[in-house]
Structure 1
Amino acid sequence: MSLLRKSIPSLVSLISFEAAARLMSFTKAADELNITQAAISRQIRELEHFLQMPLFERGHRSIELTPAGAMLNASLPVHLTAIASLADRVRE
C-alpha cells in the first residue's frame, strides 16, 4: 500500500484539478466544491508539486491547461467516475 501512496496524488487534489480544468476557473471550481479559491489553488499547487510539472498556465484573470494538464484532463474524469461508481456499488 505504501507504494500506492507514493504513486498516487491525493484524491482531493485530483477532484480540485478536475473541476478547475472542466470549468477553466479556480473561482468557479471553488464555488462548485464549496471551498475557497485559495483552497483550490493550494490543491492544484500540491498536485503540480507531486507531478513535478505545471498543469495550468496562469494569466491575469484566466487559466489554460498546459500539455501535461491536458493529458491529465483527458482521462481523469473517467477514472474519478469509475471510483464513484465503485463506491456506489459497495454501498449497495
Structure 2
Amino acid sequence: MTDQNHRSNRGFASMDQDKQRAIAAKGGRAAHASGNAHEFSPDEARAAGRKGGEAISRDRQHMAAIGREGGHARHANARQQQQQIEHGAEDPQPQQG
C-alpha cells in the first residue's frame, strides 16, 4: 500500500503555478513557430458555431428540455416578484440568470 498523505514531487501538477505557466507558454510559442497551432478566423469560427448549433438543434428532446427549463425559470421569477409585491417589498429586484 502507498502512503496517502505523501505528495509526489514528480509531474506537471506538482509544480507551482508560475513554473507550469512558463512551460505552457514555451510550448505555445513552439507550436506557433512550427505552424502546428491554429487560430480560427472569424469566418471559420462562425462556420464552426453554425455547424454545432445545427447539430444540437436536431436533438428534439434536448431542445425541449432547454425550453422547459427556461419556462420553469421564468415562472419561478414571476412568482417571486409577485410574492415580493404582496409582502410589501418596496423595490423588487429582477433575478439575473
Higher strand proportion, which one?
1
By the TM > 0.5 criterion, same fold?
Answer: no
Higher helix proportion, which one?
1
TM score, norm. by length of structure 1: 0.26
TM score, norm. by length of structure 2: 0.25
